[in-house]
Amino acid sequence: MRDEDRKNEKYNMKNEKITRRDFLRELGFAAGTTALFASFPWLESFAEDNQRAVRNERARIAVIGPGSRGQYLLGFLMANPKAEVVWLCDDYEPSLEAARKMAPSARTCSDYRQVLDDPQVDAVVIAVPLHLHREIAVAAMEAGKHIYCEKSMARTLDETLDIYRTHKRTGQIMFVGQQRLYDPVYIRAVEMIESGMFGNIECIKTFWNRNNDWRRPVPSPELERRINWRLYREYSCGLMTELGCHQVQVGTWIWKQLPETIYGRGAITHWKDGREVEDNVGVVYTYADGRRMSFDSVISSQFYGLEEQIMGNLGTVEPEKGKYYFEQTPPMPGFLRMINDIEQGVFNSVSFAGPSWDPEVARQNHGEFILGRKRDFLDGTGFTVDAFVDAVIEGKQPPKIAEEGYYATILSLLGQQSIDERRELTFPEEYKIDYL
């Protein structure tokens, strides 16, 4: 989530600007439902038949870790008439107090085991610091609770695999907070890509840049690591697990392959303030046929922001902007072209002496909106939470949700491992699951 959005995330319900009905209409449910479900089977819960089946039911849900992100998710639960928030759990009283105001009828506690002991709880939302994910997720599923686990799934490769195996063994529903899977812009973009509209996708470049120290205010020094846990290695893997996991998921989704090798580098180059995680990272994922996906992040320069540039030989897609660009644009009438060339400064760079070529720079192509209009909602988080509630009521795991979340975490952790060990890695066989 962008910093400007995070500042007000507990109150910012921008997803409400696009309703579920709008969501379905945007994706052409009425016209091409069968084809859409074939490509995106996790969307079946939004079909009318499924909605009728769960319309009058309610899911009893506990939120474990209602800090800033937890409160953001709580807001969507409170807006969903099919969700009943029955517990709030946190050992940090300020977070718990803020969450009480949002869900005043919920019981509260500081020990998650009290929540898991309640037979009335159907499911838990896990929004605690990363190093606690495995402990709570495994305990919850062993206790017969469905889980919505914020990304990344876990702090280590083995912990991630343990959570996934517990999900498969227990049969409990597991969602991971990879909201792009329910974002109409991304769904439509992938649909376009799969249609061949942009030719062969040869390269995916992803980046997420900021310009701030990534810190939160600390009321007293002894709370530093507790509140700013993202900056310390025993709690987090920094940029890879907190940002990169969103973007590297795109490669698995689009190419339906795993990379053969992972090569990364990183360092603390700017924010030399005692943090233990890098503020500057870059990772390259190389596939068997030579295609590449990259992830880069610096948090001392925000000019380029965040984006996935999905590049095909016929066109490029930038989902965060909600736009796509063809390599060859239709020719325009000569007079309009001359005006456009003047406005774009084409004639300013024409060489009249010296070299007979000009350096190639980014093309001045304004592109088209993926949904036919500018994005007017934040992302797919609200729809992801709604789908989780429906899955809990129905008792049915949507296909591919858990697996996409698993591999997004594994790829980000392998990128971090390569950075730590300063060597190229081969994707380890022991972390491959029955998927793709």
Q: Supply the pLDDT for residue 46.
A: 80
- Domain identity same for 130 and 206: no
Q: Reduced to 3 states, what is the DSSP secondary structure of residue 183? A: coil
Evaluate whether residue 144 is within a structural domain.
yes
Residue 149's closest CA among 135, 133, 162?
133
Mean pLDDT on 255-261 = 97
Domain carrying residue 332: 186-377+410-431
The answer as to whether 372 is a domain residue is: yes
Query: What's the whole-number average pLDDT of the chain?
Result: 89
pLDDT band at 9 (very low <50, low <70, confident <90, very high): very low
160/206 same-domain check: no
For 206, residues 6+ apart whose C-beta sits below 8 A from its C-beta are 244, 247, 248, 250, 293, 294, 295, 296, 307, 308, 309
In CATH, what number is assigned to the domain containing residue 357?
3.30.360.10
* pLDDT higher than 90, residue 249: yes
DSSP 212-238: S------SSGGGHHHHSGGGSTTT--T
Confidence band for 70, pLDDT divided at 50, 70 and 90: very high
SS3 of 30-57:
HHHHHHHHHHCHHHHHHCHHHHHHHCCC
**Sheet containing strand 174-176, strands side by side:** 107-109, 83-89, 59-64, 123-126, 146-149, 174-176
- State residue 144's pLDDT score: 98
CA dist., res. 114 & res. 106, Å (int): 14
333 and 376 in contact (C-beta within 8 Å)?
no
Provide, rounded to the nearest whole percent, the portion of the chain with pLDDT above 90: 77
The residue type of 215 is R
pLDDT tens digit string along 171-194? Answer: 999 999 999 999 999 999 999 999
58 and 30 within one domain? yes
Task: Please indicate, yes or no, whether residues 347 and 392 belong to a single structural domain of this protein.
Answer: no
Q: Is the same domain home to 277 and 356?
A: yes
Q: Tell me the pTM.
A: 0.89
- How much is the pLDDT for 29? 58
Instruction: Specify the 3-state DSSP secondary structure of 142.
Output: helix
> What CATH number does residue 176 fall under?
3.40.50.720
In a domain, residue 322? The reply is yes
Please tell me the total count of domains within the chain: 2
pLDDT at 339 over 70: no
